[in-house]
Structure 1
Amino acid sequence: MSDFSLPGFDLSAFVRATLAEDLGAEGDITSLAVIPADARFEGVMDSRDAIIVAGLPIAEAFFRALDPEMEIEILAEEGAAVPAGADLMRLSGNARAMLTAERSALNTVQHLAGIATMTRQYVDALAGGATLLDTRKTIPGLRVLEKYATRMGGATNHRMGLWDAAMIKDNHVAVAGSVAEAARRAVAAGIKDIIVEVDHIEQIEPALGAGATHLLLDNMNVEQLRASVELVAGRVPTEASGGVTLETIGAIGTTGVTYVSVGRLTQSAPAADIGLDFALA
């Protein structure tokens, strides 16, 4: 068993809850009816697409939860780029256990590898002009895993939740009355990291004067981003956000912004095409 762990993520609890959802009260009735209890399978998990690998140690945990003695060899490193047809994992063990764990294991790897693969596409398109950030647009309950997958793809995590940085957006400004007043309230509350979203270049100086430590430049075009970066002049990090695509991120990265954040990394990444083929041992 690998020593895979993530801060804030309970792998054992995740595996138990996921298997419980799939098994229900009756268990895997198909395998119980069709597969002899002592039957053994050998299997190979492989990728039908070129992908960035993410989630194999989690897949391993699903299989070991049902057959602790299963022989498992992980064949690709997390974060590695592998071609279509690459073998990812080799297994040998109880056939019922393999069939029961198969869908949970594949769902997880397909989802995380899909996120990592899309993330790498954005990193490559950005071409080092800025640092790619993910967002909080994650499936409830899967944030730690999905943000792990973006790291495997080469991105840097934005804030993990509402607790680790203030982010003042338009609705906060509407209630506070102005960007400056909202930022001042965050400063008065003793918050160290204060991200302020600005929609117009005229909001930049009031936000900085009130204590913003990071500016999110929302839905600005390339010319507006360049002008904003010039005005900020390195006083705080700048982040381009809103409507960023593979076609536009390269130009955005040339504007001098520190970061570019992309919600679709976790919100819209397609699942990777990964399969698992079994044979009697």
Structure 2
Amino acid sequence: MTKSLRPQLSPLMIEDLVRNALLEDLGRAGDITTYATIGSEKTATAELNSREQGVVAGLPLAEAAFRLVDPSVRFEALVRDGDAVSPGQAIARVSGNARSVLSAERVALNFLMHLSGVTSYTARFAAEIAHTNARVTCTRKTLPGLRAVEKYAVRLGGGSNHRFGLDDAILIKDNHIAVSGGVASAVHAARAYAGHLVKIELEVDGLDQMREALTARPDVILLDNMGPDQLREAVAINRQHHELTVEGYASDVRRVVLEASGNVNIQTIRAIGETGVDYISTSKITMAAPTLDIGLDVVIG
């Protein structure tokens, strides 16, 4: 990933997240183990080392953990977020007051291990469909309080971000359709309500419902729990509808974007991507990603 395309995190958001994590870990009395065993004058230099192969994410949060505990601690990143690392590779070096280094260690590693795990797992999913035009995308199924940084990690792994919350895009699901009175009425109501910058996505669970959805012209159709054969047919129907629409009505009509969802995992995503859909959404890359094993080792005490 080139430097210009790497996502960025707000420093204010980083500080809030890390401060809350430190307050949770240090509690009311601080790191009593370190206070009891290490003198206040002791210094240490330590390296953060990857124990396995993966892709790093979360270095800005790790740096903030040490800085918020003690602004005098020096943090030197040896790689960048989004870089691939190998077992035994040092990814950062910290030096300063030993108490401060050890007190911030767990919070720094927790963010690094979790976010690097999300990025590494996303990269595996993305690699499975790299030969297709599809992109893997995350969902709103994220750990409470960590959505923004998990979505940041997904992008670092080559994935795409779905909506961040209920307020930034419209996704009409089966219950919305049932209550509103049908596919067309739901889409038309959403179109009347939404601003011109708000995308409208409609979930369908069958090809007949998809055909109905195409006439309502949402921006995106979510194909829920369809197998590869149905997905291929849906792609063909969408292409044919677009060609007929352009030929018969208007040359500026955009093809509806298709998103596949349901039963997506590392074993199934390749077959789904090869059907021709545009996006493949899955909660696995955020909710089921294994952590990347990263440790802190004192090299000079």
Alignment of 1:84-99 (within 5 A): 84-99=87-102
Q: Which residue of structure 1 lines up, in the alignment, with residue 246 of structure 2?
A: none
Q: Which residue of structure 1 lines up, in the alignment, with residue 57 of structure 2?
A: 54
Structure 2: gaps (5+ residues): 1-6, 243-254
Alignment of 1:97-176 (within 5 A): 97-129=100-132, 130-176=134-180
Distance 1:253 1:188, change over 3 A: same
Secondary structure of 1:10 counterpart:
helix
Q: Work out whether residues 5 and 11 of structure 1, in 8 Å CA contact, stay in contact via their aligned partners in 2.
A: no
Matched, 1:247 2:267: yes
Q: Which residue of structure 2 lines up, in the alignment, with residue 227 of structure 1?
A: 233
Distance 1:11 1:229, change over 3 A: same
Distance in 2 separating the partners of 1:141 and 1:216 = 26
In structure 2, give the amino acid aligned to 1:124. Answer: A
In structure 1, give the amino acid aligned to 2:219. Answer: T
Secondary structure of 1:121 counterpart:
helix
Q: CA deviation at 1:86?
A: 1.0
Distance in 2 separating the partners of 1:7 and 1:109 = 17
Which of 272, 276, 281 lines up with 1:256 in the alignment? Answer: 276
Query: What does the per-residue CA deviation read over 1:64-111, in whole Å, with 9 as the maximum and x for residues that have no partner?
Result: 112212222111111111111111111111110011100000000000
Q: CA deviation at 1:5?
A: 5.3
Matched, 1:270 2:273: no
Matched, 1:182 2:186: yes
Q: Work out whether residues 9 and 144 of structure 1, in 8 Å CA contact, stay in contact via their aligned partners in 2.
A: no
Distance in 1 separating the partners of 2:78 and 2:120 = 18
Q: CA deviation at 1:15?
A: 1.9
Secondary structure of 1:223 counterpart:
helix
Alignment of 1:27-42 (within 5 A): 27-42=30-45
Q: Which residue of structure 1 lines up, in the alignment, with residue 86 of structure 2?
A: 83
Q: CA deviation at 1:8?
A: 9.1
Distance in 2 separating the partners of 1:252 and 1:151 = 20
Distance in 2 separating the partners of 1:72 and 1:169 = 46
In structure 2, give the amino acid aligned to 1:278. Answer: V
In structure 2, give the amino acid aligned to 1:46. Answer: N
Q: CA deviation at 1:195?
A: 0.3
Which of 61, 73, 77 lines up with 2:76 in the alignment? Answer: 73
Q: CA deviation at 1:189?
A: 1.2
Distance in 2 separating the partners of 1:133 and 1:104 = 27
After superposing on structure 2, the runs of 4+ consecutive aligned residues of structure 1 that deviate more than 3 Å are: none
Q: CA deviation at 1:188?
A: 2.0
Distance in 1 separating the partners of 2:11 and 2:160 = 17
Distance 1:103 1:134, change over 3 A: same
Q: Work out whether residues 187 and 211 of structure 1, in 8 Å CA contact, stay in contact via their aligned partners in 2.
A: no
Structure 1: gaps (5+ residues): none
Q: TM-score, normalised by structure 2?
A: 0.89
Secondary structure of 1:217 counterpart:
strand
| Count of matched residue positions in the alignment of Structure 1 and Structure 2 | 278
Matched, 1:193 2:199: yes
Distance 1:263 1:8, change over 3 A: farther
Query: What does the per-residue CA deviation read over 1:25-64, in whole Å, with 9 as the maximum and x for residues that have no partner?
Result: 1111111111100111110111111010101121011111
Secondary structure of 1:132 counterpart:
strand
Distance in 2 separating the partners of 1:229 and 1:31 = 60
Distance in 2 separating the partners of 1:7 and 1:41 = 30
Q: CA deviation at 1:128?
A: 3.6
Matched, 1:11 2:31: no
Q: TM-score, normalised by structure 1?
A: 0.95
Distance in 2 separating the partners of 1:169 and 1:213 = 14
